[in-house]
Every structure is written in C-alpha cells, then in structure tokens.
Structure 1
Amino acid sequence: MKNFFVISLIAIMLLQIFSKVVVLVDFQANREYIMEFLCINRDKPELKCEGKCQLTKKLKAQHDTDKQANERGQKQEVQVNLYCQNLFSLKPIIPETIVTYPSGYTFSYSSIAYHCIFHPPQVIV
C-alpha cells in the first residue's frame, strides 16, 4: 500500500512537470478525431491546419494554467539589509615617523660560486 502511494505521487509530479509533453502526445494520438470533428478550419482544407489550431489552444491553456499556479505559489520577496560596523580596520598601520637605528653589522659574507657544476654533460672519449 505504501509503495502504491509513493509511486502514484511520483507519477502525479512527473505529469505536472511534463504537462506540455502530455498535451503533445494526446494531440498526436487523437489527431484524426481532432482534424475531423474539433478543428475550426476543417471546412477550409487549403489552410492545411490539420488540427494545429486545437493544439495551439490547448498549449495556451496549459501555459496559462502554469502561469497562474506559479503566481499563486510565488512568495513575496523581502529584501533585508543588514548593517554591521566594521570592527577591524583594513587600513595599513603606517607610523608617522620612521626611526632608523645605527647598526654595527657589516657585510662580511662571501661565497665561492661553483660555476663548473652547472654545465651540460660531456662525453669523454
């Protein structure tokens, strides 16, 4: 019983989603009947309507029904602006005066560059 209820709810939701497809399938299945009895232009074969007037009418009715359902289901949007005071300043802290201290450090670093290591390999014959 529970599975039947779940399957029927899923089927109803799918029919709602694919309502235009259902209208098109119904039109194709009953095209002969629509052309013969329901078509407005059945007395004017030169227009080659072939029931498209009924299809257009049904699709427009379906569109209007969907539009009304959307308008009923829409919620009014309210924009809320939240203001908060910036507690942390993003400005860089720049001291007003720059103080330099004399340093007794002298540049006494030297290195020996090993340029001979960085060369392409050579074939020794």
Structure 2
Amino acid sequence: MLLKAWVIPLIYLDYEIRKDFIASTLCINRDKPMVICNGKCYLAEKVAEAERQKQQQSEQDYMSSLIYQVMDTMTVYSFPPAPISEEEVSSLSYFYKSAFLGRLVPDRIFHPPLA
C-alpha cells in the first residue's frame, strides 16, 4: 500500500535525476527542434501509465472484494433431520444464519433510551 502512494512521486524524481538523458534519448519530440519539451512528454506518458495501472488495480481490488462477499464460506445452513410423517412436514422450519449477523447488530449499544 505504501508503494502505491509513492509511484508517481518516484516517477517525478526519476525525471528530475535523469532529465538530460530523457530529453536526449527517450523524448518523443527529440527529432523536432521547434518543440522544446525537455522530456516532459516522456514524463506525462509515464504518469498517465501509472494512473492507468492504479485505476486497473483498484478495479481488480473492488471485483475481488465483491467475489469474496458473494462466495462467503462462513455461511451456516441448518436443516432439521428428514421428516418421517406428514405432521412433521408441516411443522418444519428451515432457517439461514449468517456468521456475520451477530456482529452487525450490537443490541447492547443501539437501544431505545432508558427512562
């Protein structure tokens, strides 16, 4: 996470350190004497690429969190034993209990005011 925050400042630092090399060899406009960008075109390209990678990574993180939420492995399903008679069939109750349900609603904190 810390590395993600330092990607763009490191690109700017690399540009400042190697400005002459970038302007002479990596610059897109080095063959055009009228355009003097001193390698800023290369810098803009690298920053845009870093932003694009950051956007793709955030989309992948979001999708993986959605998949994790859908594929909840801590879900507990409880079913009573197989019924034997017709009376037992009418009295069956199937219920679903999530492992997170107990942690979502803290009854001790949220309650009506006590008189």
The TM-score with structure 2 as length reference comes to: 0.52
Quick check: which one's strand share is greater? Answer: 2
Matched with 1:69 is: 57
Quick check: which one's helix share is greater? Answer: 2
1:12-37 Cα deviation digits (max 9, x unpaired): x4332121101100111111100011
Structure 1 or 2, whichever has the larger Rg, is 1
The TM-score with structure 1 as length reference comes to: 0.48
Q: Which amino acid aligns with 1:14?
A: L
Matched with 2:25 is: 37
Over the aligned positions, Cα root-mean-square deviation in angstroms equals 1.9
**Higher RCO (C-alpha 8 Å, min separation 6):** 2
Q: Out of 30, 43, 46, which is 1:58 matched to?
A: 46
Moved over 6 A (4+): none
Kindly, what percent of the aligned residue pairs are identical? 32
After TM superposition, list the pairs within 5 Å mapping 1:1-125 onto structure 2: 13-74=1-62, 75-76=65-66
Secondary structure of 1:20's match? helix
**Contact 1:15/1:22 (CA < 8 Å) preserved in 2?**
no
Q: Which runs of 5+ in 2 are unaligned?
A: 70-115
Q: How many residues align?
A: 66
